[in-house]
Chain A
Amino acid sequence: MENSCENIQEQIPELITGTLPAEKAAELQRHISHCPACSEYLEALQADDKLLGEFAKVMRLKITRLENNVIDVLDGVASKKTVNSVSIVSTNIKGPFIKLAVAVVMIIAILSVLNHFTGSFDSSTIVLAKALERMKQSSWVYSISETYSPQGKSIRHVWKSFDPHIDITKGQDGTIRYVDYSEKAEYLYNPNSNTITVSFRTDNYMLPGPKTPFETISEIIESAKDRKGKITRQKTRIDGIEVELIRIVYNDNPQNESTVLVREVKRNLLTKMEIKAIRPGTDKKFAVVTTFEYPEHGPSDIYTLGVPKDATIVDIRPEGPANALVELIQNKFEEGFGDYIAVVLQSWLEENGVLEPSSITVLRQKGNLKRSERYHAYNFQNRKPKPGTLYEDIKDNWPNLTILQILKLENDDALERRTLFDGKQTITLHKSLNGVLKKQQKRVDIFKLETEDSLAGLTWTIPHRQIMSGSSQMKRDIQLLPKDPNRPGLVGFRFLEFAQTDDHWFDPNKDYILIEYVSRQQGSHPFLRTIVTKTGRTPDGKWYPKVIRTKSIHLNSQGKTQSQSWEKHILLNTSPTFKEGIFDASSLTE
């Protein structure tokens, strides 16, 4: 019998998985029903199965979170990526983008809620605006957000200081992120490995002034002005303190969507915000309850938040002689070109040397106001639905076109996306291939983050962005490249990330513009090489790339190599005139 039991128990795992043929399963069940030992083993494996199932459900929360992070990042930045920009591959969404992502999710949620307004706003707007101004004068804001969703409850603690600019987040799992922008440093504590990772972090693309989690409240006020809504105010006492409840009413779905703000009357500060909403595009309900406190002093360092003193410190900030070149290039990028209109004509480069139109991007900058438009120029032929394209208008002269010709052709039918920085925020309109427009707003200057959206980005790249991207755990290795006889006169640095290296070569005789960029994966062919094949100079003597050629070699899913090439032709006017109001947010059509 013992031998038989051993055989039976050997097959019980398959019984759990359900992969045994019915006959075999029945035979096993017959034995088990009479055998206490095997029955016990079956029960134990069933319990394990249940436990693993529950574990997977709990982990599903994490998976959902990372799904949302990835979707938000892709929504926000993927559209800025063109085929020859690979830096996005290693975007670290746990860095500044995560905050953007969270803020954007909340703002989208709130805006979608506001769509349903049916009444109208009154003087509450002014009351709220004053309360917000008062909040911004506080040295620190500490908020605790509890999010309730069908997956359960999660808690997040956030401290913010405006001057010096410090952001601190403590998540449910004990992870603590302490970012001191004045030090350009981020301290990330991982409780599992008991390590503090120190990395480089800059806020130079963020907007000056206070940034708080409750900027979403400002968004509510701003949006409410334009929309039909109904707001009610009611004075009451909570724990003996006089407060005003500001309630936003949504007539069509009062059960599932609402916002309540609690304002403490005496200090004129918001102390609580409750949002009930449905995640846009889904029927998933969630609620966020945030309480605000205004301490005089915030946590002075990561240890005051409970991080053990014996935690291992891993400093992954770049060091060494390459740093000087990195900073020089970053400064060049920030200095930029002043006011300009540039047109980027992007083509597929066929093997026979023919340039096939792909897209046309118009870049405009006036002071710190920026705008970019990308239009389809590809011949979509019989694609259905067929997106609008400028192909028919430009095919005969491609790529020998002038800025003036392109500006005359600009039209929204062929628009792929439009991005505007109006000094306060970046607004992006994406148009999907089936013509649906989507709008996003972010409180950052996205033109300082995306190389493709500014002439300066195309000319010098953005080293700080690359330092901040990549894994949150790996040492940021940047090396100076030794002089290369094949690249006479050029200087360069190499970023090392995982099994990837990114070499950048600059020309010191031409304002240090980026002449060549090579991205390689471990042991393989270069998988992306970008070379400036023609340079130009502005009337005041600044160098810029006139023609940029890119070749990408990659392995397809069958393991075969494929290559594709593109070329960009850049037209530049550094004495532009702009249409009145072109940099106003109101100039964007939806």
Chain B
Amino acid sequence: MNGDLEKEFAESCRNPDRSAYRDLIEAYSGRVFAICLGMLGNIHDAEDIAQQTLLKGLTNIKQVRDNEQFGAWISRIAKNLCIDFIRRGKCKRSILRGRADVYQSDSKEYPKLESALAKLSEEHRLALMLYYFDGRSTKNIAETMMVSEAAAQARLSRARKRLRKLLETEGGV
């Protein structure tokens, strides 16, 4: 560990630079939200956990050595917080799961889509959300899901097919 470098970085982090925070947040908020929505399948919870992730990530930024690793690092925080949330928030989660078949979204615009997304497997939903919220890039999916790019493409394709089936069952869009 390069002690001086790390200390200096921590020193700078103690002194917040709004533009630096803003850049990092804007660069990774989509990915973080996608992970949370993908894993939790619920917009309200995703917002909660995404906020916590960004706050936790940025307030502990001194633990990252350089910005290139920030993406992987904050993705891991998001995943861990989602897992914790699922584990400790079983009640709430089970309410939603129990309701999955009669899921009614409060969104006027996309009730069928949200309902179909809620029924997708976590893996498929995560692939789709990462694609649409994180720069439409299969490379980003691969990075975040820690698989090869080919595997990420395959997951995305399977997710598209599965979603189509679900939307058909929902009465088409």
**Whole-angstrom distance from the CB of B77 to the nearest CB of chain A?**
10
The answer to whether A52 and B88 have CB atoms under 8 Å apart is no
| Contact indicator A74/B88 (Cβ below 8 Å) | no
In the assembled complex, B138 has its CB within 8 A of some CB on chain A? yes
A17 at the interface (CB under 8 A from B): yes
Indicate the size class of the contact surface on chain B. Answer: 35 or more
- A433 near B17: Cβ-Cβ < 8 Å: yes
Task: Check A91–B55 contact: CB distance below 8 A.
Answer: yes
Q: How far is the CB of A311 from chain B (nearest CB, A)?
A: 12
CB of A69 closer than 8 Å to a CB of B? yes
**A53 and B113 alpha carbons, distance in the complex (Å):** 12
Cα distance, A191 to B44, chains bound together (Å): 10
Given contacts A48-B167, A70-B25, contact A17 B72 (CB under 8 A): no
Whether B140 sits at the interface, judged by CB under 8 Å, is no
Residues of chain A within 8 A of B56, CB atoms compared: 89-90
Q: Mark B28-54, 1 if CB is under 8 A from A, else 0.
A: 011001000100001111011011101
Beta-carbon contact of B15 and A13 below 8 Å: no
Asked whether, in the complex, the Cβ of B106 is within 8 Å of the Cβ of A16, the reply is no
CA distance A332 to B109 in the complex (A): 52
Q: Decide yes or no whether A487 CB sits under 8 A from chain B.
A: no
Q: A498–B85 contact, CB under 8 A?
A: yes
When the two chains form their complex, are residues B153 and A59 in contact, meaning their CB atoms are under 8 A apart?
no
Complexed CA–CA distance, A460 and B63 (Å):
27
- Point out the residues of chain B lying under 8 angstroms from A73, CB to CB: 55
- CB <8 Å contact, B16 and A195: no
Q: A59-B33, A93-B51, A498-B85 are in contact. Are A44 and B164 (CB under 8 A)?
A: yes
Count A/B pairs, Cβ under 8 Å: 208
Are B1 and A81 closer than 8 Å at their CB atoms? no
Q: A74-B16, A89-B60 are in contact. Are A66 and B96 (CB under 8 A)?
A: no
Whether B88 lies near A66 (C-beta < 8 A) is no
**In the complex, A93→B56 CA distance in Å?**
12
| CB-defined contacts of B45 to chain A, threshold 8 Å | 473
A70 contact set on B, CB distance < 8 A: 21, 25, 29, 51, 54-55, 58
**Residue on B with the closest CB to A190?**
B44
Chain A residues with CB under 8 A of B157: 10, 13-14, 17
Using CB atoms, name the residue of chain B closest to A496.
Answer: B88
Task: Name B52-77 residues within 8 Å CB distance of A.
Answer: 52, 54-56, 58-60, 62-65, 69, 72-73, 76
**A499 located at the interface, meaning its Cβ lies under 8 Å from any Cβ of chain B in the complex:** yes
CA distance A144 to B65 in the complex (A): 46
Q: Convert A279-314 into 0s and 1s, putting 1 for each residue whose CB lies closer than 8 angstroms to a CB of B.
A: 001000000000000000000000000000000101
CA distance A378 to B14 in the complex (A): 12
Q: Tell me, yes or no, whether B121 is within 8 Å of chain A by CB.
A: no
Docked pose: A114 CA to B128 CA in angstroms: 45
The smallest C-beta distance from A21 to any residue of chain B, in angstroms, reads 12
* A32-88 contacts to B (CB < 8 Å): 41, 44-45, 47-49, 51-56, 58-60, 62-63, 66-67, 69-71, 73-75, 78-79, 81-83, 88
* CA distance in complex: A381, B4 (Å): 10
Q: Which chain B residues lie closer than 8 Å to A13 at the CB level?
A: 156-158, 160-161
| Cβ-closest chain A residue relative to B138 | A19
Whether the pair A433, B48 counts as a contact (CB closer than 8 A) is no
Query: Is A169's CB within 8 Å of the partner chain B?
Result: no
Which residue on A lies nearest to B25, using beta carbons?
A: A67
The 0/1 profile, CB within 8 Å of A marked 1, for residues 140-172 of chain B is 000000000000010011101101100100000
Judging by beta carbons under 8 Å apart, are A66 and B33 in contact? Answer: yes
**A contact patch SS:** mixed
Instruction: Compute how far the CA of A120 lies from the CA of B6 in the bound complex, rounded to whole angstroms.
Output: 51
Distance between Cα atoms of A499 and B83 in the complex (Å): 10
Q: In the complex, which residues of chain B have a beta carbon less than 8 angstroms from the beta carbon of A88?
A: 55, 59
> Which A residue's beta carbon lies closest to that of B50?
A66
- A63 close to B30 (CB less than 8 A): yes
With the chains together, A62 CA to B29 CA distance in Å? 10
Q: Does A425 contact B (CB under 8 A)?
A: no
In the complex, per-residue mask of A352-365: 1 if CB is within 8 Å of any chain B CB, else 0: 00000011000000
The reply on A554 being an interface residue by CB < 8 A is yes
A193, A281, A358, A472 interface centre (most CB from chain B within 10 Å): A193
* Beta-carbon contact of A499 and B84 below 8 Å: yes
CB distance from B72 to the nearest CB of A (A): 6
Q: Are B164 and A474 in contact (CB under 8 A)?
A: no
Q: Is A234 an interface residue (CB 8 A)?
A: no
* Contact partner, B33, options A62, A381, A499, A555, Cβ 8 Å: A62
Q: Do B44 and A430 have beta carbons less than 8 Å apart?
A: no
**In contact, B29 and A63 (Cβ under 8 angstroms):** yes
Q: How far is the CA of A169 from the CA of B49 in the complex (A)?
A: 21
State whether A71 and B8 are in contact (beta carbons under 8 Å apart), knowing that A191-B106, A498-B85 are contacts in the complex.
no
Q: Which residue of B lies closest to A58 (CB)?
A: B109
Q: Which of A328-377 contact B (CB under 8 A)?
A: 348, 358-359, 376
Q: Are A74 and B21 in contact (CB under 8 A)?
A: yes
Question: Which residues of chain A are within 8 angstroms of B1 by Cβ–Cβ distance?
Answer: 556, 562
Chain B residues closer than 8 Å to A16, beta-carbon distance: 160
Are the C-beta atoms of A48 and B131 separated by less than 8 Å?
no
Q: Which residues of A contact B42 (CB under 8 A)?
A: 192
Q: Is B101 an interface residue (CB 8 A)?
A: no
Q: Is the CB of B89 within 8 A of A62?
A: no
- In the bound complex, do residue A17 and residue B64 qualify as a contact, i.e. CB atoms below 8 Å apart? no
Query: Are B48 and A17 interface neighbours, CB within 8 A?
Result: no
**In the complex, A431 has a CB within 8 A of chain B:** yes
- CB pair A74–B59 under 8 Å, yes or no, is yes
Q: Is A471 an interface residue (CB 8 A)?
A: yes
What's the minimum C-beta distance from B141 to chain A, rounded to whole angstroms?
A: 10
The minimal Cβ–Cβ distance linking A494 to chain B, given in whole angstroms, is: 16
Contacts of B163 in A (CB 8 A): 48
Q: A59-B43, A62-B47, A94-B51 are in contact. Are A71 and B14 (CB under 8 A)?
A: no
Q: A73-B55, A473-B85 are in contact. List 17 more A-B contacts (CB 8 A).
A: A13-B157, A13-B161, A47-B173, A55-B113, A62-B43, A74-B16, A89-B56, A90-B52, A94-B48, A173-B106, A193-B92, A195-B92, A281-B19, A281-B22, A433-B17, A499-B80, A564-B6
Chain A to chain B contacts (Cβ below 8 Å), 12 pairs: A13-B158, A16-B160, A17-B131, A48-B167, A67-B54, A70-B29, A73-B55, A314-B91, A474-B89, A557-B69, A562-B1, A562-B63
> What are the 4 closest A-B residue pairs judged by CB atoms, nearest first?
A13-B157, A13-B160, A56-B132, A498-B84
